[in-house]
Structure 1
Amino acid sequence: MAGALSHIRVLDLSRVLAGPWASQLLGDLGAEIIKIERPGSGDDTRAWGPPFLQDAEGQDTRDAAYFLCANRNKQSVTVDFTKPEGQALVRDLARQSDVVLENFKVGGLAQYGLDYESLAAINPRLIYCSITGFGQTGPYAERAGYDFLIQGMGGLMSITGRRDGEAGAGPQKVGVALTDVMTGLYASNAIMAALLHREKSGQGQYIDLALLDVQVASLANQTMNYLTTGRAPQRMGNAHPNIVPYQDFPTQDGAMILAVGNDSQFAKLAIVAGHPDWALMPEFATNRARVEHRAAFVEAFTAVSVTRTTKDWIAALEAAGVPCGPINTLAQVFADPQVQARDTRITLPHAAGVDVALVANPIRMSATPPEYRSAPPTLGQHTKAVLADTLGLDDAAIELLVAKGVV
C-alpha cells in the first residue's frame, strides 16, 4: 500500500540535521521529498567526514556518513537560487508542493522571494515550516544557532555530566545532536498537524520552530522540578533526580544499569541482592525515602554489585522482573537479538554501486508502515528528472540552465 503521506510533496530547502531529519521522517511515511541543494557543494553534511561512504572500488565518495543518516527517500535537485532563474524554479516547485521546509537565518530567503509571504501568495494552501536557532522573534532572532550551542544555552548541559566534586565533573553535551533531532521530530509533528488542519480549512499556514524552544520544552521533568521548587537541578552523572535506584552500578567485570521504577520492583531487587530486609527498612522501603537516603543506598548496593558479573546480575534480575541491562557499544547494539528481531538495520542500493546500511524508522504501523524507496541521493542525482517530470521543462531548457550554472 502507498504510504500515509504519499499524496504529499515536500520542497525541502533545509540542510544539516534538524530540517533533513524532519523531511526524512515525512519521506519514510510516503511523502515525495524534493531536496534543493547548492550546485557543486550541496548540503553541508555531505562534507562532514570522515567517515565517507565508499564506492564499489573501496574509494571514498563525496558523501559523509553524517549525510546518510538523514537523507533517504529524497530526490536531490541542485538549484542556485541566488540567480533569478533559480528563484523562478524554486517558486514553480513551491506552487506544486504541499510543504516547504527551510532553516535559513531569519529573513534569509526574503531577498530571493522565497519567504512564506511570497510563496503563500502563489500557493495559499502551502504549509511553510521555518527552523532557526532562536525563532522568528525575540532579541536573539538574528543569531545563528547550532545544536551544541543550544544544549548549553537551553539548560541541558547544566544537568548532564558528573556531579560537582567528582573527578571529571563539569557540563557535558549529549553524544548526538539531540536538540536537532528533537526539533526535527517537533517539526514533522507540526507539519502533519497543519496538513490535517488544511483538510478542514483549505488554508496553509506558517510554522516557526526554534531549537532553543525545543530544548527547553524537552527537559521534561527537570524543567518541572525547577518550576515547582525554584531550585535548579544539578548534574548527577547517571543518577535520576526523582528515582532511586535508577543509574549505573559497577559489577565484577564492568557495569550495569538498574532502572527500578516502583517499590515492588525494589523489593524484588532486594531479594536478588540477598538483602530482603532493605525493602522493610524505613530509609529504603519507599522511593521517596530512597531519594532522601540516596547516598546510603548507593553505597550499600555497590558493595554487593561488585561481587557478581554483569551477565550474572542481568540473568538474575530479569528472571525476577527487575528492569536492568548492559551498557552496550554500537557493535553490541546491532548484534543484540532484540535489535535484530526488530529489523533495525536496513540496506538500500546506492548510486555509488554499493548497498548502504541505514537505521530503520522506529515507527511500526499496520496499514501504512514506513517505506524505504531510495538511499540518500548523490548531489543533483534527480535534477533533470524533476525539472522534466514535475516542471515540464524540455531537454533544451534544462541544458540552458546547466550552461548558466543555475542547476
Structure 2
Amino acid sequence: MNQETLTASALPLSGVRVLDLTRVRAGPTAIRQLADWGADVIKIEEPVNPETETEMGGMRLGPDYQNLQRNKRSITLNLKDPEGVALFKQLVKDADVVAENYRPDVKTRLGIDYETLRAINPRLIYASISGFGQDGPYARRPGYDQIVQGMGGLMSITGLPGQGPVRAGIAICDTTAGLYAAFGIVMALFERTRTNLGQWVQASLLESELAILDLQAARWLVSKEVPTQAGNNHPTMIPTGLFQAKDGYITLQVPGQVMWERFCKAMEREDWLDDPRFRMNRDRSRNRVELNSLITEIFSEHPREYWIERLNKAGIACGAVNSIDEAFADPQVRHLGTAIPVKHPQLGDIALVGQPIRTDRHRATVRSVAPMPGAHNEEILSGLGLDAAAIDELRSRHVI
C-alpha cells in the first residue's frame, strides 16, 4: 500500500466513491471537499481530441485548475457514444455519489439522469448543481457567478454608496453553491446509513446567493427594509469600517455599547461617551460620517501596528487590511498551515489552499495533484474487467 492510499484510508470519507461529471467552478468546489476528506473521486472528462488539443497542459497547469481538481483520478469517456454511457453505467453500479452541473435537460438527453441511474443503483446519491434550479422559468438559462451576483441582490449592497453596483472580488455564488452541495451530499450519505436509499441532492447558485445574504435578506423579509450599499461600514453596528493609519489601512469593528466604551477609553476620547452625537448606536449611525472622520484623524497619527496592538489589548477587534501575499505571510496564517506545499511533476514546488476545517483526529492534505485527462483510464477500466487490448480498441474509436 503506497503512502497516498495510507493517507486517504485514514480520512473520514474513505470508502466513498464519487463519479465527478462537474465542470467550471461550483461543481468542482463541491467535489473537492469530498476528495480532500478521503473520497475516491473519479473525474470523468471528454476524450482528448489530438487535432484540437495540442497543448499538453494549458489551463490544466494553471493555479485555478490545480487548486480545484486535486486529489482526484481522471478517466475519459465519450458520453455521446452509447458505449461510453454503458461504461459509465458500469461505474455507477458501485458508486456512492454522482455529481453533475449540466443544464437540467442535458442529463436526460444523455440518459444519465437521476431516475435512470437510480434504477441501476438505488443507494446512489445524485447531486445536481445549477444556476437557477432544476425547474422553473429560468431552469434552462446558463447561470454564471457574475450573473447571479446581480440577480440575487448581492451587487446592490456591495460597494461604496453612490458608485453603482459592484461584484464581489471572488466567485462567491459558485463557491457557496459548491459548499452547500457538498453539505447536502454528506447529509444524504448520513441518512443512507439509516434508510439504505440514495436521493437527489440539488443546489443552485441563485438559492445559495440568497441564503448567504442572511442578515441583509432577513432585513427585507422580516422588516421590509431594503438594504443598500454601506461601503466598508457595517449596516447596523457603528463604528465598523476601514480606516487609514499612518502607513496603511486597518479594519475595525466595535459591536455594542460595552465595546464602544472600551474603544473610547483606548482611543483616549472618553468625551465621546457623553457626546449626544455618539452616545448610543442609533446616534452613531446617524452621525457615522462625522465619527469616522474623527477616528481617521486620530488613526493617522501612528502606524497601523501601533493601533492593532493597542486596540486588541483593549479587547477591540481590529486588524490589518492585507494584500493576498501579505495575508499568506501573516504569522497566524503561517501557523495554521493554510498554504499546503506540493511537489508538482511539471510546475515544481507550489502551494495550494488548504481546508479550513480540522478535527482532533484529521487534517485534510493534498495527496495528489490535479490529473491530466485520462491519466487513470487503464487503472479504472481494468477494474471493470477490461484488458489492455480492449482499452486500446476503445481509445482508437474515441470512446475513451
**Runs of 4+ residues over 6 Å off in structure 1:** none
Correspondences of 1:378-389 after superposition (within 5 Å): 378-389=372-383
* 1:4-403 matched pairs, under 5 angstroms: 4-40=12-48, 62-164=60-162, 169-352=163-346, 354-389=348-383, 391-403=384-396
1:100-126 deviation digits (Å, cap 9, x = unpaired): 100000120112211101100000000
Contact preservation (8 Å) 1:351, 1:377: no
For the 8 Å contact 2:45–2:74, the answer to whether it is kept is yes
Distance in 2 separating the partners of 1:41 and 1:209:
32
What are structure 2's unaligned runs of at least 5 residues? 1-8
Match of 2:106, SS state, is coil
- Whichever residue aligns with residue 156 of structure 1, its letter is L
Q: Which residue identity lines up with residue 109 of structure 1 in the other structure?
A: K
Root-mean-square deviation (CA, aligned residues, Å) is 2.0
CA distance in structure 2 between the partners assigned to 1:353 and 1:174 by the alignment: 30
Residues 162-187 of structure 1: CA deviation (Å, up to 9, x unaligned):
111xxxx1111111101111011100
Which structure carries more helix by proportion? 2
- Residue 63 of structure 1 contacts residue 378 of structure 1 at CA under 8 Å; is this kept in 2? no
**Identity value in percent:** 41
- Structure 1 residue 264: Cα displacement: 2.2
Distance change in 2, residues 1:353/1:226 (3 Å): closer
8 Å Cα contact 1:160-1:174 kept in structure 2: yes
Shift of 1:282: 4.0
SS in 1 for 2:150: helix
Where 1:396 maps in the other structure, the secondary structure is: helix
Contact 1:248 1:255 in 2 (8 A): yes
1:328-356 deviation digits (Å, cap 9, x = unpaired) = 11111111110000011112233426233
SS in 2 for 1:197: helix
SS across alignment from 1:14 = coil
Paired AA for residue 393 in structure 1 = L
Q: Deviation per CA, 1:220-275: give whole Å up to 9, x if none.
A: 10011122332311111111101111110122222211011232222222122220
1:273-303 superposed Cα distances (whole Å, 9 cap, x missing partner) = 2201213334423333322332232232222
Q: Is the 8 A contact 1:356 1:375 kept in 2?
A: no
Q: CA deviation at 1:62?
A: 4.5
SS of 2:232's partner is coil
* Whole-angstrom CA distance in 1 between matches of 2:318 and 2:389: 64
Structure 1 alignment gaps of length 5 or more: 54-59
